[in-house]
Every structure is written in structure tokens, then in C-alpha cells.
């Protein structure tokens, strides 16, 4: 690839004691920075490519300010803090921090055990301090990376984060920039990496002042959220610089170990160099300068291998992607109704295909899309695919936000988790699933715009218009909806939840310690599915060692012949009494093994 893009220092930044102010407003005739306490009006000078610039040694950290564009004042869209919310003045932040993580190195993608969490509902305190307090627990669980849902400033204090409008300002109610830096530093002290969910495919509607500054959006394309972000139309340099500076800030100023890029399939960019390729280049520059690993993980539903191929092949260079098709196949195998986007998935058959080749639709006809869809991923490394049985989308986009233990019961949840953990892919958990939390994860907002509030309510009702028998759609704006979604940490001390927590700890430990489960090569997996029996048998062979993993999603017990006179040892049983199950089979077996309904077994050949 050609030369790496220059990183613009946007907004108010510090160089020693002097503040630098950079604003992109290509159509403005006059730009002024209006500061408070003391009150000053600092005119900016026009620069090339729509930028305006000034320096001052009178600006201090914590000072409030607004930017005047042709005498009309707005918050700074690249401010590092919005202490009074999305409509209030911006605040100056000095991002210099006393880091103590100089010797920390994040794990490789192939070794990650990811735990997705939402800062506001992870603990009752709803902030970064609450997450810090639970880091020893996560370490004991076996987690070595947390993935945090977006923290860019959003309206109010209740939001999933995908309505963020200030991408550089860390949500004030969570603890702001300093709180996030402290969390990352604390994670690194515990040996835990931090992956941050970022949103570059759209920006939220309330508090979105970007159009007042310049053409950050274009009518050239439409997205589910309206106008597309302007990555390839006239004056696209502003939006591109905005995103690249944001990526650089998270990786450099906050020591973030990886970014999860939301819905990259909704990024519209036909430039000779795609914005994702520039993100890859900026990330590589940070890696080279810091000597530390950084990961780029994409959410993408296109089954297009180009997103994962390296820049040298004109790929987009993402390190990994969420593999939703693994999840969808797993859910249908577990008993999910085949409606909506689940309608085209065939349970065990498609789950087996995902184990073998990652993508389920890899060029064949997709009935849901009504077209031939996807490309083959068979030669792409296993670690490039992140798999899960639950995540914020698949729980929270249900009308009642039910988790797997509520939908299917603990036996199926244990089986689904085993399916994730024995895969050669990178596993991810969703907060609270490890103790089978009964708290839902609902969709919630705290907008101030009454018309927008009503539009969100109406949209949710339309989405679930066919589910009236399940009750009323929870009001996204209501504080109660948010409160119901906050994890109850006392639950995990109750007997049934203790069983599940012990199960997850042991299963994560098995994945991390067993030599054959560390192979991470699906080409060493022999995968057989029995569609009529709802069963998958995976044999993993390495040198003289062999594992047989049996997943029985059916309602019937099956006797599985081992086709070998050797003695086998059962090293895992999802239905064992120590997890709250009722299995009574022997740990040593020959010739055949009995696998109970809705359960899974792992056998190791005795050599």
C-alpha cells in the first residue's frame, strides 16, 4: 500500500503548556474558540483543506468552551469531554496520564478469551470504577480480554452507546477520559486486554452538530440510519481525518489493545484506498512505534473474505470478525424458531459447516437474501473468527431481552457454551452469562428530544408487532427498562448460579490448558453431523493424541460407537452432577459412549 495518511491533531490538544486548536469547517468564513472562566474569544486562522488553527498558552485543562462557526456557537464535535451533556459546552482535557503498564503485552488473537460488557449495566455503580472492582473476578474466571460497548458521549446516561455523537469524548457519567485511562491501566495490571467498540458507520441523531461544521455526511448513499458518513464524496477528507484521528487517540492516548468496528458493511467507501485500509495502516504505525500488539475486529455480515485479507492482497486488513453465522446455526440447533434471519439456518448441519469452514453461506444461495451469497474462508486462519452463544445484539434485540438460560434452560446453555469453547475460533462471552444471570439485557435510551423519544418507542413497537402475545414492548426511555438490565451480582452466590459459574470456569480452564484444544486449526477437525439426531461429532487428532467431542442437541439419549477397542476417558460432561446435571455414566468407556439428551461429552483416547 502507499503512504500512510497524516494524523491530524483535532480539537483542543496540548503540547507542553501550549494548547493547539484545530477545527475542520471548510465552508466557514469565520471560526472562533469561545472559552469561559476566563472568557476569551480566540479567532482561528484558515489553513489548507478546510482546517482552521490557533495556539494559546491561556487555555487550561477543565476549561469550558464552544466553537463559533460564522458567529453561531456549538459544542466541539471532537471535544474530549462533554460534562453537561451533548448540548452543553465542551471541556478541555489533558490526556497525559501516568501509565504503569510499560511491560504489558496483549495476548495474540488466537489466545483471547473475550468478555463483552456494557459499562452502565455491568455493575450497580454503572461506571469504570465498578468495572475495575470486578477485574479480579474476571481474571479468576479465565478472561484475558474485555470488550467494552461504545463509550463515546451519548444523550443522557442510559444508552447502549451506538447513539454516540461525540466520538472523542468519553461518556461523562462513566467517569470520562481519566476514568477510562485508569480502567485500561488497571486491566493491564491484571493481565487483561481492553477492546473498545467503536462506531464509524453512523452517528446518533441527538446532539449531532457535525453538519454545522462541514459535509461529514453525504446523500450519495443511504444507510439504515439515514445519510452515510462521507468517506468518498466531495470534502471527504474531514470525515476520514476524524475517524483516523479517533483510532489513533484510542490506541495511543488510552492504550486500548483493540478496536471492534461496528457494522463495517454499512460503511460506504469507493475511494481507491478504503477507510478500513487506512485504519489498518494507522494501527500498524502505532504497533511499530509502541512495540505492542493491537487488534482490529470487524462486525460484518457480508461473508466477504476481503475484509480479513492483508493489505498486500488489497484486503482491508482486519485481524478478525464476529462470526454471526456460527451463532445463528448454534441457536437453531438449540431450538430457536426458524424465523427472520434464523429462517435459513439448518441447525446441526450448518453448525458443522461453520466448524469446518467458518462461513455457512460461502457462495451458495441464501433463501433469506434471495441471492447467491458469500465467499469461501477455508484458508483463512481460525483466529480471525470470533464466536459466541450470546452477545449484546442477540440478547438485546429480542423484545424482552432474554438470555439463553431463560430461553432454553441451563442444560442447553451448558451445551451451547461447550460448542463455543471447543471450536478452533476465538471465543467471546456476554456479561453475566457465566452464572446464568436472570436479568434481561433490554434496549434503553435517555434522549431529551420528545419527538425522537416517541420515534424510538414507535420503532420498537413496529419491530415486534407480531409478538403481542408476549406482552408490551418495554419502553426504551423508561429508567425502569435500564434498571432491569443491571446485573445482580448476588445471584451468582445462589446454588443453581454457582453450578453454572463453576462450569464456565472449568470449561475455560480446559480450553486454555488441553493441548488438543490449543491447536486452533479446524483442518485438524473431522466434523460429522447427524441431522436427524441433531448431533455433531468432532474428532481432533494431533500426532498420537485424539479427542472426540460429541454435541447432542436432540431430546433423546444416543449411544455413540467409538469404532476403536481402546479405552477412552471422559474428560467433560455438560450434564455432570457437579454442574447441576444428572449424568451417571462412567468416566472410562470402551466401544461406545452414552450421550444424554441436550448434552455434550468430550472423550480422550487413553494412550
Rg (CA), the chain: 25
42: burial class by Cβ within 10 Å (0-12, 13-18, 19+)? middle
How far is it, in rounded angstroms, from Cα 271 to Cα 290? 29
Do residues 78 and 90 lie in contact, with contact meaning Cβ atoms separated by under 8 Å?
no
- DSSP E strands: which ranges in 85-142? 90-91, 114-117
Q: Hey, which residues does 15 pair with through a beta bridge? A: 18
**φ/ψ (deg, to 5) at 529:** -120, 145
List 299, 319, 324, 336, catalytic entry: 299
Is the backbone of residue 73 left (phi > 0), alpha (psi -120 to 50) or beta? Answer: beta
Do residues 201 and 262 lie in contact, with contact meaning Cβ atoms separated by under 8 Å?
yes
The CA distances from residue 317 to 240, 252, 281, 296, in Å, are 17, 19, 9, 8
Do residues 308 and 287 lie in contact, with contact meaning Cβ atoms separated by under 8 Å?
no
Buried b / exposed e over 394-421, threshold 16 CB at 10 Å, is bbbebbbbbbbbbbbebbbbbbbbbbbb
- The conformation of residue 487, written as its DSSP 8-state character, comes to -
Do residues 116 and 430 lie in contact, with contact meaning Cβ atoms separated by under 8 Å?
yes
User: Which of 321, 312, 254 is closest to 284 using CA atoms?
Assistant: 312
How far is it, in rounded angstroms, from Cα 441 to Cα 397? 9
Strands 72-74 and 114-117, how do they pair?
A: unpaired
How far is it, in rounded angstroms, from Cα 525 to Cα 528? 10
How far is it, in rounded angstroms, from Cα 479 to Cα 483? 6
Three-state secondary structure readout of 302-341: CCCHHHCCCHHHCCCCCCEEECHHHHHHHHHHHCCCCCHH
Is the backbone of residue 522 left (phi > 0), alpha (psi -120 to 50) or beta? Answer: alpha
How far is it, in rounded angstroms, from Cα 511 to Cα 429? 14
List 197, 233, 253, 262, catalytic entry: 262
The CA distances from residue 33 to 22, 73, 91, 348, 466, in Å, are 10, 9, 12, 60, 52
Q: Which residue has the cell 448441519?
A: 349
Three-state secondary structure readout of 341-401: HHCCCCCHHHHHHHHHHCCCCCCCEECCCCEECCCCCCCCCHHHEEECCCCHHHHHCCCCC
The CA distances from residue 213 to 79, 219, 229, 230, 445, in Å, are 13, 17, 14, 13, 26
Active site residue 262: yes
- Active-site residue list: 262, 299
Amino acid at each position: 500500500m502507499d503512504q500512510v495518511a497524516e494524523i491530524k491533531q483535532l480539537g483542543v490538544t496540548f503540547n507542553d503548556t501550549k494548547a493547539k486548536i484545530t477545527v475542520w469547517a471548510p465552508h466557514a468564513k469565520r471560526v472562533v474558540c469561545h472559552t469561559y472562566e476566563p472568557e476569551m474569544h480566540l479567532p482561528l486562522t484558515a489553513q489548507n483543506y478546510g482546517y482552521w488553527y490557533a495556539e494559546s498558552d491561556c487555555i487550561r485543562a477543565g476549561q469550558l468552551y464552544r466553537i463559533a462557526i460564522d458567529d453561531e456557537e456549538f459544542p466541539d464535535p471532537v471535544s474530549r469531554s462533554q460534562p453537561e451533556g451533548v448540548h452543553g459546552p465542551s471541556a478541555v482535557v489533558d490526556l497525559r496520564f501516568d501509565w504503569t503498564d510499560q511491560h504489558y503485552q496483549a495476548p495474540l488473537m488466537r489466545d483471547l478469551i473475550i468478555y463483552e460488557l456494557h459499562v452502565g449495566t455491568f455493575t450497580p455503580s454503572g461506571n469504570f470504577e465498578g468495572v475495575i472492582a470486578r477485574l479480579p473476578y474476571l481474571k479468576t474466571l479465565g478472561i484475558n480480554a474485555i470488550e467494552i460497548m461504545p463509550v463515546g458521549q451519548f444523550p443522557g446516561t442510559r444508552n447502549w452507546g451506538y447513539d454516540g455523537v461525540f466520538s472523542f469524548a468519553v461518556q461523562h457519567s462513566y467517569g470520562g477520559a481519566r476514568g477510562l485511562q485508569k480502567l485500561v491501566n488497571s486491566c493491564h495490571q491484571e493481565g487483561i486486554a481492553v477492546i473498545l467498540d467503536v462506531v464509524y458507520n453512523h452517528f446518533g441523531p441527538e446532539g449531532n452538530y457535525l453538519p454545522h461544521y462541514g459535509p461529514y455526511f453525504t446523500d450519495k448513499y443511504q444507510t439504515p440510519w439515514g445519510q452515510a458518513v462521507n468517506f468518498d464524496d466531495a470534502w471527504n477528507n474531514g470525515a476520514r481525518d476524524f475517524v483516523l484521528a479517533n483510532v489513533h487517540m484510542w490506541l495511543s492516548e488510552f492504550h486500548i489493545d483493540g478496536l471492534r468496528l461496528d457494522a463495517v458493511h454499512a460503511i460506504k467507501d469507493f475511494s481507491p484506498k478504503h477507510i478500513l485500509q487506512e485504519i489498518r495502516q494507522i494501527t500498524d504505525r502505532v504497533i511499530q512505534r509502541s512495540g505492542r500488539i493491537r487488534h482490529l475486529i470487524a462486525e460484518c455480515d457480508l461473508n466477504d473474505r476481503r475484509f480479513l485479507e492483508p493489505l498486500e492482497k488489497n484486503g482491508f486488513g482486519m485481524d478478525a470478525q464476529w462470526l454471526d453465522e456460527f451463532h445463528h446455526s448454534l441457536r437453531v440447533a438449540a431450538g430457536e424458531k426458524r424465523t427472520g434471519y434464523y429462517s435459513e439456518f439448518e441447525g446441526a448441519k450448518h453448525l458443522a459447516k461453520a466448524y469446518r469452514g467458518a462461513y455457512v453461506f460461502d457462495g451458495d444461495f441464501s433463501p433469506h437474501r434471495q441471492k447467491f451469497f458469500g465467499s469461501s474462508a477455508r484458508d483463512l486462519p481460525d483466529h480471525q473468527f470470533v464466536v459466541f452463544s450470546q452477545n449484546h445484539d442477540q440478547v438485546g434485540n429480542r423484545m424482552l431481552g432474554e438470555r439463553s438460560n431463560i430461553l432454553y434452560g441451563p442444560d442447553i446453555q451448558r451445551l451451547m457454551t461447550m460448542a463455543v469453547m471447543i471450536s478452533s475460533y476465538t471465543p467471546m462471552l456476554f456479561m453475566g452469562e457465566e452464572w446464568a444471570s436472570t436479568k434481561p439485557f433490554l434496549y434503553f435510551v435517555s434522549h431529551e428530544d420528545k419527538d425522537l423519544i416517541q420515534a424510538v418507542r414507535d420503532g420498537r413497537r413496529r419491530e415486534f408487532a407480531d409478538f403481542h402475545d408476549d406482552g408490551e414492548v418495554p419502553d426504551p426511555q423508561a429508567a425502569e427498562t435500564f434498571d432491569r438490565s443491571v446485573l445482580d451480582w448476588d445471584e451468582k452466590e445462589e446454588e443453581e448460579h454457582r453450578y453454572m459459574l463453576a462450569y464456565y470456569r472449568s470449561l475455560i480452564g480446559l480450553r486454555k490448558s488441553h493441548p488438543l484444544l490449543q491447536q486452533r486449526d479446524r483442518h485438524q477437525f473431522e466434523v460429522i453431523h447427524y441431522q436427524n439426531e441433531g448431533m455433531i461429532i468432532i474428532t481432533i487428532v494431533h500426532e498420537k493424541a485424539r479427542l472426540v467431542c460429541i454435541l447432542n442437541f436432540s431430546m433423546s439419549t444416543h449411544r455413540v460407537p467409538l469404532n476403536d477397542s481402546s479405552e477412552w476417558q471422559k474428560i467433560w460432561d455438560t450434564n455432570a452432577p457437579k454442574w447441576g446435571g444428572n449424568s451417571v455414566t462412567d468416566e472410562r468407556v470402551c466401544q461406545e459412549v452414552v450421550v444424554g439428551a441436550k448434552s455434550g461429552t468430550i472423550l480422550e483416547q487413553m494412550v
